[in-house]
Structure 1
Amino acid sequence: MLWYRLGLIGVCAWLTLPAAAATFRVGLLHGDAEVFDYELSVIRLALDHAPGPQTLEVVPLPKVPQNRVFAMLHEAHPKINVFFSGYSPEREESLLQVNIPMTRGLLGYRLFAVRKDRMAELSPIDTLYELQQVTVGSGTGWPENRILEHNGIKLVTSQYENLWRMLEYQRFDLFHRGIQEIFTELAKPGRDNLAMLPGVALAMRYDYFLYVSKSRPDLHDILKQGLMKAYDDGSFMDNFRHHPANRAALDQGELDKRQIIWLETPETSRTLDQIPDRYWHLPSQQE
């Protein structure tokens, strides 16, 4: 009986112990914290709502290709242990994916950057067939490339840091960007001769997800629990509605005034299909 009581006391003490502290080293593609400020705010929100004192370290990776970043994560490289990126079946299979879309699917809505002197030539585009007649810039290794190519869109690919210059030099006609990214990117110095193509948007069921190594299920669980708590107390939606990048996307993006070209998604998963609708934004929703 004494052993049982001591055992019970030990279990109760273990249950009341504070959650162990963890350091989340988040790899930042392109090393651009300004462009990814919203995504970083989602991670901070998750850690603020998670049990235990968690620490966030942002690790800029300006020259590292995305495929190499995932190899580092898979190998449990000490430099990073968390990464956010667009969904792909391979990533879901090889890593632990936190199944809460970070931008509520806004990333799946794409607007096009274009040279201002080609605006009149290209602005009539508002059908998939017309889009298939031009070339579109995209990043090497970006998972959405397969969706775009599956729908007959001709891509010219390179590393992100080269793509804006390639657009200026007319190596391709249009550069697709996430609706919550394009306003910040076009406002950067040296891009005065670029603008956003009016009247049209691409759309696909797609988003950034958080990924960790399968050897670190503790990190996965902390992030998932934190995001779910942030949804439950309303702080996730408050951050989503009021973050400047999203506010610009929802207000200036004017999806309700654009011809939306929905793309067929060739590769998805049962897990992705089962994500509740409450985690996705629809243009008709008043956020």
Structure 2
Amino acid sequence: MWIILFFLFSFIAPAESASNSESAPQIVRYPAGESPQDARQEYIYDVLKLALHLTEKEFGPYVLKAEGFEMVQERLIAELAAQRTIDVVPLPALEKGYTGLQPIQIPIRQGLLGWRLLLIRCDEQVHFNDFVNLQDLNHKQAGYSLNWGDLPVSEFNFEQLASISGYEALFQMLSTGRFDFIHRGLHEVIAEAATFTSQYPNLCVEKNLILQYPLPEYLYLNEDDEVLAERLQTGLEKAVSSGRLRALALNAYQDIFNHFDIHNRRLIQLHNPMPIDKSKVDNKDYWIHPSLLLNHH
């Protein structure tokens, strides 16, 4: 009898262990930000949460963890390629991709990453009031970070450009007059304006202009992480087909649209010289066209 029970439990125990292992949550690590003041990753958290939630039935529970604090983009790519501290990083969707990484080819911001507002010194607003095109804007000097992946856009379009290293240094240099403006994503500018205008009270968001260039943003994973890739692909496809990704994007940006009167701004379109993946650009399911946002364009 004891021998029979021994054999029964010897088979049951591994099965229970396997079951527990299967129900353990999948840990997904995403970037925390470049500095303690950096709140740009909140939307990434929301996108990941949506995609993972929509796939719980097929793939099980999950836990999201912010990691890689104060890492610039180049370092995040290296960490992801080496499968160290990060599992997923949002990056500009380059046609050639990134060595060691694989993309989930769904623009997570539906094109809104390429919509940009200007941060300027408040007393300079009068000089921007009559600007209507890029030629006008090029009377001023732009500033941008050497660490940001879309730097080639600024290098191509702006005749006067100061490229510097460091995130918070950009705002300090703008405040002290090193250059005249920096352009920031809609999702970035509201948090940065709140944070840095208290530190540099002479900085303001410019009142009349909005820049736009095509810049899809994908989630990138390590090229060998097939399980997470399948899960995020499935989850994001569900989010697109159900309209939930569009709703998430518009909801995340709605306060910004209203606060900065986006619908009535003058549009200046920039050329993007980067070899981006254009497979989803202008596809209405994946991309928000300017006509949906502007009263005139």
Using the size of structure 1 for normalisation, the TM-score is 0.83
User: Against the structure 1 CA distance between its residues 19 and 95, is the aligned structure 2 distance closer, same or farther, given a 3 Å change threshold?
Assistant: farther
Matched, 1:213 2:229: no
CA distance in 1, matches of 2:94, 2:118: 22
Q: CA deviation at 1:112?
A: 0.2
1:58 aligned to 2:66?
Answer: yes
CA contact (8 A) 1:132 1:152 kept: yes
Query: 1:233 and 2:239 equivalent?
Result: no
Match of 2:154 in 1: 148
Partner of 2:111: 105
The alpha carbon displacement at 1:215 in A equals 1.5
84-93 or 65-74, larger mean C-alpha shift: 84-93
Percent pairwise identity: 26
CA distance in 2, matches of 1:116, 1:65: 29
* Aligned partners of 2:114 and 2:185 also within 8 Å: yes
Larger radius of gyration: 2
How far has the Cα of 1:38 moved from its partner?
1.8
Name which of 115, 118, 124 aligns with 2:121. 115
Task: Tell me: CA distance 1:100–1:129, structure 2 relative to 1, closer, same or farther (3 Å).
Answer: same
1:178 to 178, 182, 185: 185
Which of 18, 24, 31 is the aligned partner of 2:28? 24
* SS of residue matched to 2:116: strand
- Could you say what the CA RMSD is over the residues aligned between the two structures, in angstroms? 2.5
Cα drift, residue 76 of structure 1? 1.7
Q: Tell me, yes or no, if the aligned pair for 2:28 and 2:62 is still in contact at 8 Å.
A: yes
Find the aligned partners of 1:19 and 1:227 in 2 and give their Cα distance.
22
Matches of 1:253 and 1:182 in 2, distance apart? 10
The CA distance in 1 between the partners of 2:288 and 2:112, in whole Å, is 7
Query: Quick one: distance in 2 between partners of 1:139 and 1:48?
Result: 35
- Which whole-Å CA distance do the structure 1 matches of 2:201 and 2:74 have between them? 32
- Mapped to 1, the partners of 2:156 and 2:244 lie a distance apart of 37
- Residues 49 and 153 from structure 1, CA distance in 2 versus in 1: closer, same or farther, beyond 3 angstroms? farther
- Secondary structure at the aligned position of 2:291 is classed as coil
Provide the rounded CA distance (Å) in 1 between the counterparts of 2:182 and 2:24: 44
Residue 132 of structure 2 corresponds to residue 126 of structure 1: yes
1:235 aligned partner, one-letter code = R
> Aligned partners of 1:228, 1:73: CA distance in 2, in Å?
23
1:38 matched to 2:46: no
Maintained 8 Å contact 2:221/2:229: yes
- List alignment gaps of at least 5 residues for structure 1: 1-17
Structure 1 partner of 2:83: 76
Cα drift, residue 176 of structure 1: 0.7
Tell me how far apart the structure 1 counterparts of residues 159 and 113 of structure 2 sit (CA, whole Å): 18
Aligned-partner Cα distance in 1 for 2:78–2:212 = 29
The normalised TM-score by structure 2 is: 0.80
